[in-house]
Amino acid sequence: MRILVVDDNRALADNLAEILDDAGHDAVVVEHPDAALEAASQSSFDLMLLDVRLPGMDGVELFERLRKLAPRAHFLLMTAFTDAGRLHDAWRAGVQSILPKPVPLAELLDFVDAAERAEPVALLVEDEASLAGNLTEVLEDRWTVRQARTVAAARESAAKSPLRVALVDLRLPDGLGVDLITHLRARDVAVMVMTGMERSEAEALVGPSVPLVTTPFDAQAMVDRLAKVG
């Protein structure tokens, strides 16, 4: 993979680039957002690693501009700070993962590997074990399946590697999945909602644009419909 590393800490960026090169990738380092925009306009990159705090423009704004130049690229932010508001902006903007600094190398390489494989990954968010098991069997005909039983676990799972589709129960142990659905859709994940609620009640929560099925449902028919959405 061709990887662009954007960090004004040159020593750290060069170290990451060396690790990525040793793993068989082609890493390019720039220190300034303007240099990143120029590089992305002149060459193609499969993955871009962006520091959040950069001179002149933060990593979230840079991501939004780079995504227009490279809509098929994967993006990962790195940060030594815990600005929850700005990081929330990054998630909503569609950043696929955010890692702390110092960067945990195992997690970084796992993300890079997943991006390189471009596996068609489906996230199943369902807390009822037997239903989750049945749905997983059907989903596995088309996707690699990751399961989560809570909103928090789903967010953590979504941060680890790119997702193609998500099938989300609307009622979960730690709350409604409405914010999770918004979060996933902002990251270009095709989302379908399943719920035992009345359709009108569920649509009032998630909006008419989100595909929705209510119980009882035919699992195979639902997965076939999800495949068309994603």
Concatenated DSSP letters for 175-202? EESHHHHHHHHHTT-EEEEEESS-HHHH
Is 104:77 a contact under the CB 8 Å cutoff? Answer: no
Q: Do residues 67 and 141 both lie within one domain? A: no
Q: Do residues 105 and 11 both lie within one domain? A: yes
Q: Do residues 159 and 180 both lie within one domain? A: yes
Q: Do residues 195 and 105 both lie within one domain? A: no
Residue 228, class by beta-carbon neighbours within 10 Å (0-12 exposed, 13-18 middle, 19+ buried)? exposed
Which residues constitute the domain of residue 190?
121-229
Of 57, 86, 117, which residue sits at a domain end?
A: 117
Of 117, 138, 159, which residue sits at a domain end?
A: 117
Q: Do residues 82 and 126 both lie within one domain? A: no
Q: Do residues 132 and 113 both lie within one domain? A: no
CATH code for the domain of 194: 3.40.50.2300
pLDDT score for 186: 81
Of 190, 199, 188, 186, whose CA–CA distance to 168 is shortest?
190
Q: Do residues 38 and 95 both lie within one domain? A: yes
pLDDT score for 214: 92
Q: Do residues 139 and 89 both lie within one domain? A: no
Q: Do residues 87 and 159 both lie within one domain? A: no
Which pair of structure tokens corresponds to residue 55?
């001179």
**Residue indicated by tokens 């088309």:** 142
The tens-digit pLDDT sequence of the chain (230 residues) is 899 999 999 999 999 999 999 999 999 999 999 999 999 999 889 899 999 999 999 999 999 999 889 877 889 999 987 667 777 778 777 788 889 999 999 999 988 988 877 667 899 999 999 999 999 999 988 888 999 999 999 988 887 666 889 999 999 999 999 999 998 888 778 899 999 999 999 999 999 899 999 988 888 888 888 887 76
Of 68, 90, 117, which residue sits at a domain end?
A: 117
Q: Do residues 156 and 97 both lie within one domain? A: no
Taking the whole predicted model, whether its pTM rises above 0.75 is answered as no
Q: Do residues 128 and 44 both lie within one domain? A: no
pLDDT score for 157: 83
pLDDT score for 217: 85
pLDDT score for 230: 66
Q: Do residues 159 and 189 both lie within one domain? A: yes
Q: How many domains does the chain have?
A: 2
